[in-house]
Structure 1
């Protein structure tokens, strides 16, 4: 008896027509039955935003032959929520993959990323989930070196599963770098130092254009930043429980003088 193919939900934040999602769905077609639900326009930097107070549109489209695809008017997280509730109707897929993002989602960027937030939402729904990103913002980005790793990582997740409330954040070096292998890493400590360029529009109203510089605050050789800079695919096990467990004991030693605060 033939083994049943896994069902795989493919999402992204760059939009339904992005080259990265085409690469991802093509690789997933080799191992399972694919359903694509993606935003109808780019949604980069949306984080875990959801749509409240306005309608959500979900339209079936025929973009690639033989692929069940839907475009959504909402955010990447909306795409996952609608897929689970309206397309799969509560019968959850075996895997959720997000990407391949045009641009890295390493270190602190995971908090801002629509790509990773879609994967996080999959994990919240108890679906094994992976976010994939490439170090190339170009619309003509070369994803060819990522393909075998995408498939290999997805197959391992399907075979072994992931711990509850855990997902994978996978980042690929630029195609100009020879990939040396895969490194299981931790998220590097870093932050963005933003600047806001002040400008004036044609109506003489002031507006701001955000720019910034990424500053690595971590010298460790076990991080995603270090792995990528040295030609490795970084794989970071990620969780959505944001509790700082190490701080609970310290906080329990505090004395809260509520009476004196009145």
Structure 2
């Protein structure tokens, strides 16, 4: 029987987690260790100390998703075959997003600790984000996640892949499943706000408010739904990229690695040699 550690970043009471818990129980023993509250967008942030409390499915941890995985893999008397994180209440796609996602961050924490992982995120093909979550049925993305988990384990996917990142539409149980890769483009729009009355920040008299908005994706003003003009952007993204899969209403499945792989180039080698040489030619202060 497969031993699965299940977590998320939306909190232990999240609808997406509940749907995934029920599906995964059909293929293995599932232990939940999830945050007590929403921890979206914290990436792989870790804490030095956390508190925990019992939950009918496992434990609620007052910490980040990565804290939950660290505790589950090293603090419980269990040998987990796989960590599953999700279902997130919104997509996680694009290389720059994966680094800030709590859902993917939990999966990456597992990978660094030597346990393969699957990160699962649900999206709405017209409204992008799944809001409010209790108005939606998370069964379709949970079912495809179960299928991916079963087949990935059977095919030996995790011999070469550390994390499988899945983005699935919430309203289409029969969506096409496509092998994808994260998009790598990224840019920001930075703006100083004069009118701060409706902004979710506390502002002192001597402070300015600077807005930092992603300008490439998801092509929205603020966080409005649905995304305006999405058909105009379809051809901008190649078939096989995560964003194109979401635009086309498909299930995107990407294989990721956890290590920060070193890149050695001749140019970098010349930099090291030059810096090392210049330091060697400078007399030590004690020699003067």
Q: What range is the shorter-chain TM-score in?
A: 0.7 to 0.9
In the aligned structure 2, how far is the partner of 1:178 from the partner of 1:259?
A: 62
C-alpha displacement at 1:151, in angstroms? 1.3
Once residues 120 and 71 of structure 1 are traced to their aligned partners in structure 2, the CA distance between those partners, rounded to angstroms, is 20
Pair 1:70-2:59 in alignment: yes
Structure 1: where are the runs of 5+ without partners? 63-67
State TM-score, norm by structure 1.
0.83
Q: Distance in 1 between the 2:39 and 2:11 partners?
A: 7
Is 1:137 the counterpart of 2:137? The answer is no
Provide the aligned C-alpha RMSD in A: 2.6
Taking the aligned partners of 1:202 and 1:221, their CA distance within structure 2 comes to 44
* 1:259 Cα deviation after fit: 4.8
8 Å CA contact retained: 1:185, 1:224: yes
Deviations 1:52-89 (CA, angstroms, capped at 9, x unpaired): 3xx31111123xxxxx32100111000011111222x3
CA distance in 2, matches of 1:43, 1:209: 23
Choose 138-147 or 120-129, whichever is displaced more.
138-147
Determine whether 1:119 maps to 2:113: no
Would the alpha carbon gap of residues 180 and 61 (structure 1) be closer, same or farther in structure 2, given more than 3 Å must change?
closer
Offset of 1:214 from its aligned partner? Answer: 4.3
Cα deviation for residue 232 of structure 1 reads 1.4
User: Partners in 1 of 2:27 and 2:69 — Cα distance?
Assistant: 20
In terms of Rg, which structure is larger? 2
User: Are 2:159 and 1:158 equivalent residues in the alignment?
Assistant: no
Structure 1 residues 13-162: aligned runs within 5 Å = 13-52=9-48, 55-62=49-56, 68-87=57-76, 89=77, 91-107=78-94, 108-135=96-123, 136-138=129-131, 139-140=133-134, 141-161=136-156, 162=158
Q: Is the partner of 2:140 in helix, strand or coil?
A: coil
In structure 2, relative to structure 1, the CA distance for the partners of 1:244 and 1:27 (3 Å cut) is same
Q: Which of the two has greater helix per residue?
A: 2
Q: 2:176: which partner in 1?
A: 181
Which segments of 5 or more consecutive residues in structure 2 lack a partner in the other structure? Answer: 124-128, 218-232, 283-288
Matched residue SS, 1:146: helix
For normalisation by structure 2, the TM-score amounts to 0.77
Q: Which structure has more strand as a fraction of its residues?
A: 1
DSSP 3-state at the match of 1:59: strand
State the match for 1:65 in structure 2.
none
Report the Cα offset of residue 174 of structure 1: 4.8
The alignment of Structure 1 onto Structure 2 pairs a total of residues equal to 247
